[in-house]
Amino acid sequence: MLTPMTVAPLWRVVEAHLGSRDVARVIYGAIIGLALVVALENHPPTIAQTAAAVVATALAVGLAEMYSEFVGTEARERRHLRGGELRALAADSLAVTFGAAFPALFFVLAAIGLFELDTAFTLAKWTGLGLICAYGFVAARLAGSGPGGALLHALALGFVGGALIALKALLH
């Protein structure tokens, strides 16, 4: 049960997350995960192969994020990075990895028999789009928009993900 004592620490974590660069990284990862899920759905591999493909892609994207930031920082600052900076880059890349890997959850749940592969694809697509829109809504509210303006902002930012899903549905 949620009480004021349990909600306050959780809210602090959410506020810290929303004030960090992790938001952009999670959204970036979510868009990559969503694009992969939509691409795989046309000719789906097995449930386990789908989960593995999503996780492997997420790891590759996270490592690419870390590598590009490493090289970019050394080139921009004309110096080698220190241990603490490398750990910070690794931590930053986890947000991208999480966003891209999130759809794998639905395929793991399908693998243990909670639902069918088609349902896993549907949940992965729509929760990914929902996440992208939710971040857009919260960002607009934090930037000072009213609820209506924030909703329009969220819809505009979710348009790319929605267009991807709609295009796939029309071609299927």
Q: How high is the pLDDT of residue 172?
A: 57
pLDDT band (50, 70, 90) for residue 60: very high
Q: How high is the pLDDT of residue 97?
A: 96
Q: Is 158 helix (H, G, I), strand (E, B) or coil?
A: helix
Rg (CA), the chain: 18
**Two structure tokens written together for 163:** 């267009």
pLDDT band (50, 70, 90) for residue 163: confident
**Cβ atoms within 10 Å of 38's Cβ, excluding its own:** 19
**Two structure tokens written together for 125:** 């697509």
